[in-house]
Amino acid sequence: MCNKTSRRQFLKTIGLGVAALGTYLRSDVRATSREKPNIIFIVADNLGREAVGFYKADSTETSDRLKIKTPHLHRLASEGVIFDNCLIGTPLCGPARCGWNTGRHAYRVGLNSQTNPRIPEGGLSSKEITIAEVLKDAGYDTALFGKWNLGYAEKFNPTYHGFDQYYGSNAGHADYYTHLYNRDMKNYFYRNLTPINDEGYFDKLFTDEAVKYLRGRKANPKPFYMNLAFYAPHGPYQPPPGYYHSDDPKTNYKHMVQYLDFCVSRVVEEVDRLGIAENTLIVFLSDQGGSFLNDYGRTLSENSLKVICCARWNGRIPGGKRIRTPWLHLDLYAVFAGLAGARTPRDRVIDAIDVWSLFEGREMEHDRTFYWTYKEEDAIRIGDLKLRMKDGNILGLFDLAADPGEEKDLASAYPEKVKQMINLQARWKKECETQQTSVTDAGKR
């Protein structure tokens, strides 16, 4: 075990983990004298770290052979901060979206699996307070273009969750050209509350809408929050406009990633062209570590939990920085709220922590306790120690500082530590299960 993880330090971090349970957090309100920044949050779907050059250590034989080129993402990353240890809360599309929209673990919310059109009551409850609502209360205009995936019924529409504008699909995935969801062959494509069937490739349509939105704000002094959530490169593996169709899905996947890169460049270049780059934070995130090139790996391994994340804000975020401190993707909720000078809800547990220091290029202490649960698997991490379990059986205790690949099981050497971590994880799960229906009907505030 890494000598930094002494028994004393371990017990100290265990204590911090206990203290963190049940804590109600809010983001710090930053100086109001500075103009509130625009926030553009771009998300890729099922894009693993092996597909982009700035995570070269995560490349696979397949990705190296395909020679996927993402020069625009590389440039975006090089002009800001790259996060080497941004961790997803749940390695699945819908729960990931629940995390950044609510600042809460999907398991706490009760959305730790995909929503399904056959279950009309399944979706993001109106009792949840989304980041769009928090920012809207702080004076922001809000828009979502692309994938929602948090409920199929009208009552779950993003316009009921704080978004002024919505142009996208509620489906977990769909045909990029016909827009039909393959599980029921229905169209869940909307402009606000109106069903539509605009012709074209999904991600092109979403990008067109995002660019149009930016251009339309030229005379609008209000800050804005724009979430551009691509479907690419989630299956089905269909080549974008201008690319030939291959019988090899890996080739089509390559084309989809490269077209995604082009779509991102259109948005970034529009920000630069409009002269708003110095007051606009751009964050790029992948919604899970699993991808077509790494067998999806929807487990609680580091390979599945580590996601692509980089951020640029000209003049505010230093260029060329890499940050090692681990943090959760749902922390973006608190980061965005903090930048807006907004308060996060105080009537419920908010799991998000404001980690803005990382965006400024400064490492933070990482003795924080992280919890995960997905299907039959559970995991807890305190500092560099991570315990994984499946069906109640221990998969291993790992020291991620010395063993990032989770290859050397230390559980038998530290039975007391394993027991303490198991108890903490069980306590966290019980707390979440109790709170899934704890928000009353008395209103959102």
Ranges of beta strands (E only) in 179-313 are: 180-181, 186-187, 189-191, 194-195, 224-229, 280-286, 309-312
Q: Is residue 33 part of a domain?
A: no
Contact 158, 127 (CB under 8 A): no
What is the Cα–Cα distance from 114 to 328, expressed in whole angstroms?
20
**Cis bond upstream, residue 236 (ω within 30):** yes
Contact 25, 353 (CB under 8 A): yes
Identify whether residues 288 and 399 lie together within a single domain: no
pLDDT of 58: 85
For residue 239, the 8-state DSSP code is P
295 φψ region: left (φ > 0), alpha (ψ -120 to 50), beta (else): left
User: Which range among 7-16, 242-251, 289-298, 344-353 shows the weakest confidence by mean pLDDT?
Assistant: 7-16
Task: List the CATH number of the domain containing 419.
Answer: 3.30.1120.10
What is the Cα–Cα distance from 250 to 233, expressed in whole angstroms?
11
Q: Is residue 172 part of a domain?
A: yes
What is the Cα–Cα distance from 321 to 288, expressed in whole angstroms?
22
pLDDT of 26: 37
pLDDT of 335: 98
Query: pLDDT tier at 437 (50, 70, 90 boundaries)?
Result: low
Burial class (CB in 10 A: 0-12, 13-18, 19+), 302: buried
Asked whether residue 126 carries a pLDDT value surpassing 80, the answer given is: yes
Q: Is residue 203 part of a domain?
A: yes
Mean pLDDT of 31-38: 67
pLDDT of 296: 75
Mean pLDDT of 253-276: 98
Task: List the CATH number of the domain containing 199.
Answer: 3.40.720.10
Q: Is residue 43 part of a domain?
A: yes
Mean pLDDT of 166-188: 96
Nearest to 143 by CA among 217, 219, 201, 225: 225
Domain endpoint, select from 359, 381, 412: 359
The Cα-based distances of 141 to 99, 223, 229 in angstroms read 21, 6, 17
Identify whether residues 351 and 377 lie together within a single domain: no
Q: Is residue 426 part of a domain?
A: yes
Identify whether residues 334 and 203 lie together within a single domain: yes
Q: Is residue 411 part of a domain?
A: yes
Domain endpoint, select from 339, 359, 379: 359
Identify whether residues 241 and 193 lie together within a single domain: yes
Domain count across the chain = 2
> What range does the domain containing 396 cover?
7-24+368-435
Identify whether residues 19 and 52 lie together within a single domain: no
Q: To which H or E segment does residue 77 belong?
A: helix 71-78
Mean pLDDT of 383-389: 97
The DSSP annotation for 5-59 comes to S-HHHHHHHHHHHHHHTT----PPP--TTSPPPEEEEEEESS--GGGSGGGGGG-
Give the list of residues 6+ apart from residue 221 with CB closer than 8 angstroms, or none: none
Identify whether residues 263 and 376 lie together within a single domain: no
Identify whether residues 18 and 142 lie together within a single domain: no
Identify whether residues 170 and 306 lie together within a single domain: yes
Count of CB atoms situated within 10 Å of the CB of 118: 9
List helix spans (H) across 386-440.
415-435
Q: What is the mean pLDDT of the chain?
A: 91
Query: pLDDT tier at 20 (50, 70, 90 boundaries)?
Result: very low
Identify whether residues 311 and 417 lie together within a single domain: no
Domain endpoint, select from 359, 389, 411: 359
Angle at the Cα of 250 from the Cα atoms of 249 and 255, rounded to 5 degrees: 95
Predicted TM-score of the model (pTM): 0.92
Identify whether residues 333 and 353 lie together within a single domain: yes
Contact 331, 369 (CB under 8 A): no
pLDDT of 436: 81
Identify whether residues 265 and 321 lie together within a single domain: yes
Count of CB atoms situated within 10 Å of the CB of 267: 23
Q: To which H or E segment does residue 374 belong?
A: strand 369-374
Q: Extract the tokens encoding 76.
A: 């975006």
Write out pLDDT tens, residues 38-97.
999 999 999 999 999 999 888 888 899 999 999 999 999 999 999 999 999 999 999 999
Identify whether residues 346 and 251 lie together within a single domain: yes
Q: Is residue 444 part of a domain?
A: no
Write out pLDDT tens, residues 297-356.
789 999 999 999 999 999 999 999 999 999 999 999 999 999 999 989 999 999 999 999
What is the Cα–Cα distance from 368 to 382, expressed in whole angstroms?
6
Q: Is residue 185 part of a domain?
A: yes
